[in-house]
Amino acid sequence: MALHSAIKGKLISVIGDEDTCVGFLLGGVGEINKNRHPNFMVVDKNTAVSELEDCFKRFLKRDDIDIILINQNCAELIRHVIDAHTSPVPAVLEIPSKDHPYDASKDSILRRARGMFNPEDLVR
């Protein structure tokens, strides 16, 4: 445990497709902790939405995670959960994947900014 407390800094967790996960893991963000919980999740076309949602909520609960990276196409599937999460820590970043370019109109925070101006647009 002493070893664990000696490590300062928080983790970046990744939820995304194979390439995104492999890439960020190569970058060195991956970790499997003492309880054998990885901080990443590979989403493929067979992954159920509920699985995705559970994983996301689990990451939100972990206090050693500071940033959650999630592919925007995955984020679309669990949009209600992401919209519900407004606290700054952990920060949820919607990142583009290789086959889905970044779409500003889908990003939760930018939609919030947009809502400041014409809130009825969200209903539309």
Partner 1 sequence: MTAGTSEKEAAGQLLDNLYLDMFHLIEEHTQCRVNLERSNASGAILLARTRFQHGGSNSVSTAQIPTENSAEFNALCRVVDSEDGICVERQAVDKSKGYVEPLHWFSVLPPMSLRHAVSKFKDCIELVAESTNLQRQLGEALDWIAKLRQIALLN
Partner 2 sequence: MLKSTIVDPRVRLVPSKKLLEFLDSQKEYLPEVTENLAKIMKQKGFTLPLNIQIIKDKEVVCKRPKIDHPLLKKLTENIKFTSEKPLKNKPDSSKEKDNDEETPNEKKNFLLLSDLHWLNNTLVELRRQDHCQVFLHQLIDTCELILPENELKPRNPELEARCERLRAEQHNRDYLKMTKNVDAGLKHYPEDTISYQIKSLNKQIIAVVQFIFSVAAGFTFGFFGVNLMVGPLPFGFRILLGVIVALIIALAEMYFLAKKLHEYDEVLDAPKRKQQATTPVKRKVVAKPPTEGSQVQTLKPHAD
| Least distance (Å) between residue 117 CB and partner 1 | 10
Going by the DSSP 8-state scheme, the letter that residue 99 receives in this structure is T
By beta-carbon proximity to partner 1, the closer residue of 78 and 92 is 92
By beta-carbon proximity to partner 2, the closer residue of 85 and 114 is 114
Binding partner of 63, given partner 1, partner 2, none, CB within 5-8 angstroms per partner class: none
Q: How far out from the chain centre does Cα 110 lie?
A: 16
Going by the DSSP 8-state scheme, the letter that residue 97 receives in this structure is B
Going by the DSSP 8-state scheme, the letter that residue 44 receives in this structure is -
Q: What are the backbone dihedrals phi and psi of residue 98, each rounded to the nearest 5 degrees, phi first?
A: -70, -25
Q: Which of 50, 80, 101, 124 binds partner 1 (CB under 8 A)?
A: 101
Secondary element (H or E) of residue 110:
helix 108-115
| Least distance (Å) between residue 99 CB and partner 2 | 10
Which residues are near partner 1 by CB under 8 A? 3, 7-12, 18-34, 36-40, 42, 66-67, 69, 86, 88, 91, 93, 95-98, 101-102, 104, 107, 109-110, 112-113, 116
